[in-house]
A = this chain, B = another copy of it.
Amino acid sequence: MDTIRQLSISPNDGQVVQLAGWIKNIRSQKKFGFIDLQDGTSFTSVQVVFDDELVDFSNIAKYRVGAAIEVQGSIIVTPEAKQAYEIKAMQVTLLGDSLEQYPIQPKRHSREFLRELPHLRVRTNLFTAVFRVRSLTAHAIHRFFQDQGFVHVHTPILTSNDGEGAGEMFRVTTLPLEQVPKTKAGDVDFKQDFFQVATNLTVTGQLHVESYLPAFRNVYTFGPTFRSENSNTKIHAAEFWMIEPEMAFADLQANMDNAEAMIKYVIEYVMTHAPEEMNFFNEYVEPGLVEKLNKVKTKPFAVVRHEEAITLLQQANVTFDHSPVQGGDLATEHEKYLVQHFDGPVYVIDWPKDIKAFYMRLNDDGTTVAAMDLLVPGSGELIGGSQREERLEPLLARMKQMNVPQADLEWYLDLRRYGSVIHSGYGIGFERLVMYLTGVENIRDVIAFPRTVKHLMY
């Protein structure tokens, strides 16, 4: 069987081909008709011309959108048309009919409407483009790290960690919810649960993956993570994928260099491997997208210390809803101003320790940590990372200050007891990256079956 992807490389006039695929559109007149055929191998469909020389012309003319067909025909090269070639049908066979009520008709459907059809919406141009780019993005990330010798560690999804404040967690259990067993003291009796311990869905693989550094020097995770946050926004999902690289002998600068190289590599990869899809986004989803990404690919990322960033914001000729405060967090409006000011991605580094996680390395000033957030136009924070606190005593002190229970993390502290070295890492939200690459603004539209608060289908 031939495929549209193969044929498109160099279509030969007169060549007899056999294709199988799905009808995206069909228009027929008295003596001839046109089918837009999509076969899953290419973003572009091919036009099939059929006429009343075919014995079953009248049947073919009634085939419906969404139906699966097989076509035998010959290539007609059409150098003056938009498409380089079309197929003159010699035979069209129905493989699988499509019922009248097929909801994906060749017209504009709202994204809200399509979200209620997660099993069918991928058959539209937008979602076909999004999910091929999502797949290529995932592969590009693997290639970037594997080519440099990073080892992919599958950190656990189920964990007894409580996430150290990284976010609200889902509980996982086999206890019967109808009647949860209790101890004599009246507490939930987790001894009767599957793992005999309270179990959650992971919010990060970072702590676990750090333990793999002494074997492999450079490692990364790439897996699903979960937050049970009650945030019904365009950028929050309860289930999303995250990439978390971790590098031994790497300081904050090396960390930033790696993340920048990774972003640039991924942009290059998807632009090379999905040019039709990227042009589609550029035309219909985010005008200027390709130019934006080309700029990111070539220009060095800016860097600004958190303190300087706040000063910049305070001196800006802008009225913010939230006044920027030294020592405080950045609001979305602040992030927007900064990426505009720096005209592209910018790292904000050296954050106040009190608003960052316990494991980040304390700077010599005693008040900031060696953290980095990468802000990008459109998506806000795309990457968060830090140099880790490799020294046992400062780490213990920070845990105490931030009420992180030591007993649960003795294993993590062991990593500081046995051959600790300076190391750094970052986390990148995979869906945020796909949104950034495609221009799609709602996270629900870059996840095949999105899970958000009060919403889970199938």
- A residues with CB within 8 A of B: 1, 3, 5, 20-23, 38-41, 66-68, 95-99, 102, 104, 118-120, 122-123, 127-128, 131-132, 134-136, 138-139, 142, 146, 149, 151-161, 168, 170-175, 177-178, 180, 187-188, 194-197, 199, 201, 207-208, 211-218, 223-224, 226, 228, 238-239, 241, 248-249, 390, 411-412, 414-422, 447-449, 451, 453-458
Contacts and interface: CB of A to CB of B under 8 A. Distances in A.
A73 B204 CA distance: 39
Contacts of A417: 98-99, 102
A316 B119 CA distance: 48
Contacts of A422: 95
Contact of A98 (B151, B208, B228, B418): B418
Most chain B C-beta atoms within 10 Å of own C-beta, residue among A20, A196, A456: A456
Nearest to A138: B152
Contact of A418 (B66, B131, B155, B160): B66
Most chain B C-beta atoms within 10 Å of own C-beta, residue among A139, A412, A455: A139
A172 B127 CA distance: 29
| Copy count, this protein chain | 2
B456 A212 contact: no
Contacts of A223: 223-224
A196 B457 CA distance: 11
6 contacts: A5-B149, A157-B226, A158-B238, A159-B458, A170-B194, A223-B223
B131 A216 contact: yes
Nearest to A155: B448
Contacts of A248: 20, 40
A40 B213 contact: yes
A362 to B, nearest CB: 17
A458 B419 contact: no
A132 B99 contact: no
Given A128-B216, A194-B228, 17 more contacts: A40-B215, A66-B419, A119-B208, A131-B151, A132-B151, A135-B153, A139-B146, A154-B224, A154-B241, A157-B224, A158-B226, A160-B456, A171-B174, A194-B453, A195-B451, A196-B454, A224-B224
A127 B249 CA distance: 22
Contact of A170 (B154, B172, B180): B172
Given A153-B448, A171-B177, A180-B177, A458 B20 contact: no
